[in-house]
Structures are given as C-alpha cells and as structure tokens.
Amino acid sequence: MQNYLDFEKGLAEIEGKAEELRALSRKIPDAPVEKEAAALDQKAHDLLRDLYANLDAWRKCQVARHPDRPHTADYIRALFTEYMPLAGDRNFAEDRAVLGGLARFEDRPVVVIGHEKGNDTRSRIEHNFGMARPEGYRKAVRLMDLADRFRLPVISLIDTTGAYPGKGAEERGQSEAIARSTEKCLEIGVPFVSVVIGEGGSGGAVAFATADRLAMLEHSVYSVISPEGCASILWKNAEKMKEAAAALRLTAQDLLKLGVIDRVIPEPVGGAQRHPEETISRVREAIVAMLGELSGMEPAALRSARRRKFLDMGSKSLV
C-alpha cells in the first residue's frame, strides 16, 4: 500500500479512483472502465511529475524521511555480495543503528558502513530509528581501521536524523565518539565514498560522510540541524520548520552549488520510495563512478586531497 505525504493528497485521490475502477472491472469484466482508468493514470503521472519537479526545501525533508525509501539494509542486499557483518565496538556494546562489515562491490572487496532506521515498528526500535550511540561511531572507527590495514575502499550510506541525544549516550562520550569517527575519516589512506540516501543530520552524519567523494540522492537532505530543531532555537516555535528548512539550504541542489557535495544522483519521478530498485541501480552507478575517480591514488595523496577538500570549504563564501 502506497504511503502518501501531505502534499500528495490530490494524487492519492486520483490514484484511489483509478484503483476503484479497476476493482470494479475485476468484479464486472464487461464494465467499460479501462479507458477512464487509463486517463486517471495519465493525470496522476502528470501531477506526480509536476509535484516532484517543484519541491521546496520542506517538502524535500518530507520525501527524505519517507518510510518507503530504500534503507541501508536494502542497499547492502542489492549492491553487495559476500556481506559479512561485523558487530560491536570492542568496548561497550553493539549498536544496531549502524550496520557495517566486509563485502564485495562489483567483485571488489570493500568495507561498507551505514545508518539503518528500520522499516516497521519492531525494526525501528531495534535500530533506534537510525540514531547512533557512541558504540556505533566506535564500531565505525574499528571498521575504518580494518579497511585501512587491508587497503579496502570504504563506502558509507548516510540516513539519520542525528546522533542519539540520550543521557546514557552523553555519559559514554557521544561527542568524543563522533569527533573520533570524523577524524578517522580524514586519516584513512584508502578511497572513501559516501552517499546520503535519506536524511543527513548533524554530526551524526558528518562522522560517516567526511569522504573523498560525497553524493546525495536528488530528494535527500543534509544539514547541521533538523528544520524543527532550528526553528525551536531561532523562533522558539517548531512550527516554523518550513522557514528553517529554506534558510538551512539543506537540499542536494543547494549543497552542490555550495561545493559541500560532489554530485547529485537523480531519482525516478515520484522519488526513491516509488521506484526503489531503479534508485538503487542509480546509486550503484554513482559509486562505481566515484571509486573510478579515486583509482590509483596513493594513500598520502588521498589523505592530502581529502583534507584539502574540507579545508577549502571553510574558505569559500557561502552567501
């Protein structure tokens, strides 16, 4: 069953009417409804195309959070073979908000790391809605160390509202763990590519996205804070999230112009949630291309270029 966003209500009505006509046709095979249903289908397609061609920043946030978008676990199943998950930070616990391990991508051994939100109530609770605790970031550091030791490229998939803000996480050094993970991203001497597949929220995303190449899906978002959090701080009113979303310049298109990311991966009409397989295929192509750009670079050159990339961001005008 299709889950519709608030701005898709008109689309839901049209597609619902088309389905009602087809249900009638199944009950009464001779009912002359196919032509009318086809016309409604075309009307729905045109409306869908127009809606997604003109998404504002807040609507992009809604699409990025859509529960039907493919998650890290879906990408791992579709893109990687011989996946061997590795668990635990060798210090405190296993954090299911972060998935990672050894795998093959296009028959090449790699390390893959990503946030996992879950896709139903049980799995969302299990994965803590993709909000990592310190153990998740320390696990990521362990995996990046492993990649560096065995000269394996790192591929990270970003989809989190941010790091978990709970009392226990803060007691166990949440900010330090995020900083160590970000530092490790800069230290490893292997090709490192990252894709924002949904939400890229705050330091919780940066800790996995400080990469040689960073791509975003067309309707994903990447920002220092959520629009609701920003609105609560600036206006003392979370209902101002639309204004905050626009001010944050968190869309893939804005961030490409600002030089924060390296490429935008187009999504099919209607977003990744409507065409997950095609979206995953496009992500595959982007990862292949980004790894190709880094092929043959020596460890010292990779480290130097990666550091220079992020230092240069700070020197550019973001007006």
* Residue 164 domain-assigned (yes or no): yes
Residues 66 and 38 placed together within one structural domain of the fold: no
Supply φ then ψ for residue 103, to 5 degrees. -165, 180
Render pLDDT for 2-48 as a digit per residue (tens, 0 to 9): 789 999 999 999 988 888 887 877 777 766 777 788 888 899 999 99
List the structure tokens of 170. 């803060």
* Residue 296 domain-assigned (yes or no): yes
Residues 294 and 236 placed together within one structural domain of the fold: yes
Residues 137 and 191 placed together within one structural domain of the fold: yes
Residues 108 and 19 placed together within one structural domain of the fold: no
Count of structural domains, the chain: 2
Residues 273 and 179 placed together within one structural domain of the fold: yes
Residues 271 and 179 placed together within one structural domain of the fold: yes
- Write down the pLDDT at residue 308: 93
Instruction: Provide the angle, in degrees to the nearest 10, between the axes of the packed helices 241-248 and 227-234.
Output: 110
- Write down the pLDDT at residue 1: 66
Residues 29 and 173 placed together within one structural domain of the fold: no
* Residue 162 domain-assigned (yes or no): yes
Quote the mean pLDDT of the chain.
92
C-alpha 197 chain-centroid distance: 2
* Residue 1 domain-assigned (yes or no): no
**Interior/surface letters 78-98, b for 16+ CB within 10 angstroms, e for the rest:** ebbeebeeeeebeeeeebbbb
Q: Which residue ranges in the chain fall short of pLDDT 70?
A: 1, 30-31, 315-319
Residues 44 and 93 placed together within one structural domain of the fold: no
- Write down the pLDDT at residue 238: 81
Residues 238 and 91 placed together within one structural domain of the fold: yes
CA distance 7 to 160: 23
* Residue 2 domain-assigned (yes or no): no
- Write down the pLDDT at residue 24: 77
Render pLDDT for 162-178 as a digit per residue (tens, 0 to 9): 999 999 999 999 999 99
CA distance 284 to 81: 13
- Write down the pLDDT at residue 26: 74
CA distance 307 to 178: 17
- Write down the pLDDT at residue 30: 64
pTM score = 0.92
The whole domain housing 15 covers 7-54
Residues 147 and 283 placed together within one structural domain of the fold: yes
Residues 44 and 65 placed together within one structural domain of the fold: no
- Write down the pLDDT at residue 193: 98
Which among 15, 39, 54 is the end of a domain? 54
